């Protein structure tokens, strides 16, 4: 089943729109086992899990095998947050490695363009082999300096490309309802919106969903909590409330 269908099916079945950013830091010796403990605590609350450099850089895809196996057993879609930004041949090899190791989707930067850039990733996404999520508007404080530039906002140009290339999803900051609304109006109903920036970065859980996002991405507010399971349950409930 395609990444998008798996994610939406799980979201509906578990009644959650939470994507956990599994950004575990601290002593490397225990990082994987701590990540595994968190996954066990939150598994019923999450629609999907996002892996970032916190784990992928020190351990690589082979080193996170236990986590991938756990998610695969629990049918939790896994997203690699590489913000991939390279030429086609390199992107193709990255995608091959991700697919081989059981990753379901990748986050990429649309700034590369399609021709000899994202074309391989777009084809793999259309073939159902690896989901593709494009950065449209980031959530950090400096995002406006770049994503907000231009007469209509560079982010809407990226949103138009996401629509034209028929990506599986886009990233749009949880911190602005109006940006999410404009992105939704641009990409239509079929492309998923993932909203990071909830919690530590200041965004609320409910607002982006009401503005048209499909999922919130939450990391530190859950990972660094003394009770990740309780926090994840709270975000699950907030994200899915009618
Ligand atoms: P926190 O701890 O802030 O973590 O909840 C958020 C996670 O998402 C990543 N992040 C982003 N990823 N576009 C992305 O693709 C964004 O705009 C963005 N903002 C945050 C961040 O690296 C962390 O893994």
Beta strands in the chain (DSSP E): 18-21, 48-51, 78-84, 105-108, 131-137, 169-172, 192-196, 215-218
Q: Is 220 in the pocket of ligand 1 (CB under 6 A)?
A: yes
Distance (Å, rounded) from C-alpha 179 to C-alpha 185? Answer: 10
Whether 43 is catalytic: no
Looking at 2, 14, 83, 92, which residue is catalytic? 83
Give the Å distance between the CA of 242 and the centre of ligand 1.
25
Distance (Å, rounded) from C-alpha 236 to C-alpha 17? Answer: 6
**pLDDT (tens digit, 0 to 9) for every residue of the chain, 242 residues total?**
999 999 999 999 999 999 999 999 999 999 999 999 999 999 999 999 999 999 999 999 999 999 999 999 999 999 999 999 999 999 999 999 999 999 999 999 999 999 999 999 999 999 999 999 999 999 888 989 989 888 889 999 999 999 999 999 999 999 999 999 999 999 999 999 999 999 888 888 999 999 999 999 999 999 999 999 999 999 999 999 76
| Cβ contacts of 145 within 8 Å, gap of 6 or more | none
Distance (Å, rounded) from C-alpha 23 to C-alpha 55? Answer: 7
What are the chain's domains?
3-240 (3.20.20.70)
Taking the CA of residue 173 as reference, the ligand 1 atom at the shortest distance is: 17
Angle between helices 53-63 and 88-100 (to 10 degrees): 70
- Residue 174: CB atoms within 10 A of its CB come to 30
């Amino acid at each position: 089943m395609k990444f998008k269908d798996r994610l939406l099916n799980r979201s509906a079945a578990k009644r959650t729109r939470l994507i956990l950013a599994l950004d575990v830091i601290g002593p490397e010796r225990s990082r994987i086992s701590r990540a595994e403990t968190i996954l066990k605590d939150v598994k019923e609350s999450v629609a999907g899990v996002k892996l970032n450099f916190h784990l992928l850089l020190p351990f690589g895809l082979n080193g996170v095998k236990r986590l991938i196996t756990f998610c695969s057993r629990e049918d939790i879609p896994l997203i690699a947050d590489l913000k991939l930004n390279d030429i086609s041949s390199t992107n193709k090899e990255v995608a091959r490695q991700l697919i081989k190791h059981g990753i379901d989707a990748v986050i990429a930067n649309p700034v590369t363009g399609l021709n000899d850039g994202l074309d391989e990733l777009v084809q793999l996404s259309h073939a159902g082999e690896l989901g593709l999520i494009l950065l449209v508007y980031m959530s950090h404080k400096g995002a406006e300096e770049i994503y907000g530039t231009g007469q209509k906002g560079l982010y809407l140009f990226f949103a138009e490309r996401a629509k034209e290339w028929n990506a599986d999803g886009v990233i749009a900051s949880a911190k602005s309802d109006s940006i999410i609304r404009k992105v939704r109006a641009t990409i239509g109903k079929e492309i998923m919106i993932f909203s990071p920036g909830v919690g530590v970065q200041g965004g609320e859980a409910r607002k982006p969903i009401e503005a048209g996002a499909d999922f919130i991405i939450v990391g530190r507010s859950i990972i660094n909590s003394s009770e990740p399971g309780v926090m994840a349950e709270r975000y699950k409930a907030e994200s899915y409330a009618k």
